Amino acid sequence: MKSVKISVKGIVQGVGFRPFVYRLAKKHRLKGWVRNTSGRVEIELEGNQLSLQAFTKDLKATAPAAARIETVRSLSQPLRGYTSFEIKGSEAETGQYQPVSPDIATCKDCRREIFDAADRRYRYPFTNCTNCGPRFTIIEDIPYDRPKTTMRRFKMCPKCRKEYENPADRRFHAQPNACPVCGPKLELADNRGKPVACKDVIKKAAVLLGAGKILAVRGLGGFQLACDATNEKVISLLRERKHRPSKPFAVMLSGIADVKKYCEVSAAEEKLLESPEAPIVLLRWLKKGKISESVAPRNKYLGVMLPYTPLHHLLIMEAGSPLIMTSGNLSEEPIARDNDESIYRLKGIADYFVLHNRDIYARYDDSVSRVADGRPQIIRRARGYAPYPILLPYKSKQILACGAEEKNTICLTRDRHAFVSQHIGDLENEETLQHFENTIELYKKMFRIQPEIMAYDMHPEYLATKYALKMGAELKLVPVQHHHAHIVSCMTENKVKGPIIGVAFDGTGYGPDSHIWGGEFLLVDRQGFQRLGHLENVPLPGGAAAIKKPYRMALSYIYTLLGKDYPLEGLPLAKYASEYSIIKQQIDKKINTPLTSSAGRLFDAVAALSGIRLEIDYEAQAAIELEMAAPDNIPETGSYPFSITAGNVRIVKLEKLITAVIGDIKNGVTASLISVKFHKTMAEIILRMCRILRENTGINQAALSGGVFQNILLQKLTLEALWQADFKVFTHHLVPCNDGGISLGQAVAASQVKLKAMKLV
């Protein structure tokens, strides 16, 4: 007989962990107890050595799906003489904290119940259990108990209470437990918020969707706008009302069989779609079947998700799929959360509202992911993932990293945890800024973090930077260069130490030389970076205006690299001849024409040169359409020439590349082939630079980061090229390669800075 005390850390509360331990102890005939404390689950066990070993093995191997065990510590202790196994009451420990579970897609058991006419939860849209349901979105503080969630207003009925108190029940301590008798309810309202009387809200909603109406549906982390994805008319109405002319929408489909009708689905993609995180997955779109092309115009990929709440399951069962399901917001504002707020903000978009009274505490967008190189790669990290931390390879100080301007996330660190927030959005309006500040406060409170260091981007105009400078006056302030942060975030999630060759390709990032960087080759370790090379600088005529008008970028390349008299005849750009003369003057007089080495802008320029996309209405549209122009089977083609200068900072010169692209256009080479050749060229640029830097530094590992690597074709070609040259290459999987990953990189970079030596740039 032996006695041990076991301490388990990670997400082990609110996920059915104690009943699991209880059953496991019984199975192995062990005596003792289990209890929650603020920071861990504690277990005391007595029994024979073999049973104890079997228990420990099963503890890790068969833990509940929603649990994430980080550490298990086991200590021998003197025999206590337990005679039974029990679940003890919780113990509070001040200052302790633990990760909070993300929301979890409806489990199989709950799904069965809502479709079982004999079950008391038949068609109940708020059904959940310890294996599934809302978590993070309803938690106001820890420890995670019902009074600290938005469920506190609902008093459990005797039947629910019995489930909640029974260790053998699937709903033992399921904090959001509810049923039709005692739980939240749906309500239908018109576009002014006036209740619409109906017997069955879901049936009525399905009828409205079928009749071509746009519905605002209160989901898990905010409102979604839903409409029929096969109805061209309602899609264009939604686009018009939402001020979203062509950015792709995601669709919700009823199940894998349905998904396969419209998309190519690999085993890894199927697993991701059906995972408890249930993100939107970008899939190869077969472009057959009834989904309208205008859901994602000129795109090879379709964002698809499966129903992840009982409400979604019921709605899609009644309405049939496919349904467009997109964030309930106008353009780039944060997702609407409260009933009144949504009616105020979405009344011009939605015809009807499906409301309910289970309040949402944290806004939580749908996550977006894809499978690349056999593994999931997250592009927008929110529902199902945040606030689960990225685990750090060291014990960190308490740091707040404020993130970037676009696709903002924040990151708070403590111990080995980097709590990267859910996607917050583009910090371009008051609503999003408010959401940003609230998120910081929520994470600080939830994880008991009082930052001593504040990390921020060097860009003086970013609202996140302004926030840091304003709020962090008493803290140690650490500016982190944008691309340095990109590479460090990639290193961190891959648990790789520097030094490493960092390839940071994105749209915009502030450089310490006051130019706009974005086509960077850096030598990076956590302490700092050295810029060893970059794409050639060209003026960005009109600053932000050039980003919205890729033809301006193309003209800038022509003017800067090919000379002022280079003729536009025969190019799709020729129609901008009169504006060209103004742009020339702008560049000559250096009026609002910052220099940029941005890879994103080079993609824009080539998209515009080849006539694929001259002006855009959503971010990165030109680069995306350039990628989409490439044929599915990449033909054997050459690439375009370029050169690299000698010296300490290598410059990739692009004159030959631009000349050759123009030559192809004039020779009638198709945009499709130009796209392939250009992508190959970009991969070759990366390979040649990495080879040079390997020769000079002896470093054989590279990290790819920055939003440009959302381009699947570029990522694929680059990986193949680098692998063939025997590089060890790291890409993003846990946090986005775009600016959603910046806050993690900032926090880690700032933690390593020797603060005394640090100076503001």
Q: What CA–CA distances, in Å, run from 730 to 417, 532, 654, 718?
A: 21, 19, 27, 11
By CB under 5 A, is residue 182 in contact with Zn ion?
yes
HSE-CB of 437 using CA atoms within 13 angstroms:
11
CB of 522 to Fe ion, least distance (A): 13
Q: 137-141: long-range contacts (C-beta < 8 A, 24 or more apart)? A: 137/103, 137/220, 137/221, 137/360, 137/361, 137/362, 137/364, 138/175, 138/176, 138/358, 138/359, 138/360, 138/361, 139/100, 139/361, 139/362, 139/446, 140/361, 141/445, 141/446
Judged by DSSP in three states, 386 sits in coil
For 645-700, the DSSP string reads --SSSEEEE-HHHHHHHHHHHHTT--HHHHHHHHHHHHHHHHHHHHHHHHHHH---
86-115 residues in contact with Zn ion (CB under 5 A) are 107, 110
Instruction: Give the residue with the Cβ less far from Zn ion, 170 or 482.
Output: 170
DSSP 133: B
Closest to Zn ion by CB, 160 vs 658, is: 160
CB nearer to Fe ion: give 143 or 600.
Answer: 600
Smaller CB separation from Fe ion, 132 or 702: 702
H or E element that contains 234: helix 232-242
Residue 184 Cβ, how far from Zn ion at the closest point, in Å? 11
CB nearer to Zn ion: pick between 181 and 591: 181
- Total of chain residues touching Zn ion, rule CB under 5 A: 10
Task: Scan residues 131-170 and list those touching Zn ion (CB under 5 A).
Answer: 131-132, 157, 160
Nearer to Fe ion, 506 or 625 (CB): 506
405 binds Fe ion (CB under 5 A): no
Report if residue 119 touches Zn ion, rule: CB under 5 A. no
Q: Which amino acid is at 165?
A: E
| Separation of alpha carbons 664 and 671, rounded Å | 9
Instruction: Choose the binding region for Fe ion from 46-54, 249-257, 274-282, 507-515 (rule: CB under 5 A).
Output: 507-515
Residue of the chain from 8, 100, 139, 179 that contacts Zn ion (CB under 5 A): 179
The encoded tokens of residue 88 equal 């003890």
Binding residue (CB under 5 A) for Fe ion from 332, 506, 625, 664: 506
Residue closer to Fe ion by CB (options 103, 739) is 739
**% helix, strand, coil for the chain, step of 5:** 35, 25, 40
Size of the site for Fe ion (CB under 5 A): 3
Residue from 521, 499, 468, 557 nearest 700 by CA: 499
Of 45-53, 583-591, 608-616, 734-742, the window that binds Fe ion (rule: CB under 5 A) is 734-742
Q: Which does 739 bind (CB under 5 to 8 A by kind): Fe ion, Zn ion, none?
A: Fe ion
- E strand or H helix at 411: strand 411-420
In the bound state with Zn ion, the residue whose beta carbon lies nearer, of 182 and 561, is 182
Q: Look at residue 532 and give the partner it binds from Zn ion, Fe ion, none, a contact being a CB closer than 5 to 8 Å depending on partner kind.
A: none
Q: Where are the beta strands (DSSP E) in 563-644?
A: 595-596, 643-644
| Span near Zn ion by CB under 5 A; candidates 49-57, 90-98, 171-179, 302-310 | 171-179
Q: Which is nearer to Fe ion, 538 or 599 (CB)?
A: 599
Indicate whether 457 belongs to the interface with Fe ion (CB under 5 A).
no
Q: If contact means CB under 5 to 8 A according to the sort of partner, which of Zn ion, Fe ion, none does residue 229 touch?
A: none
CB of 508 to Fe ion, least distance (A): 7
Instruction: State the maximum Cα–Cα separation within the chain, in Å, rounded to a whole number.
Output: 93
Residue 489 contact among Zn ion, Fe ion, none, beta carbon within 5 to 8 Å by kind: none
Residue 551 contacts residue 615 (beta carbons within 8 Å)? yes
739 scored as a contact of Fe ion (CB under 5 A) = yes
Give the interface with Zn ion as residue ranges (CB under 5 A): 107, 110, 129, 131-132, 157, 160, 179, 181-182
Give the interface with Fe ion as residue ranges (CB under 5 A): 506, 509, 739
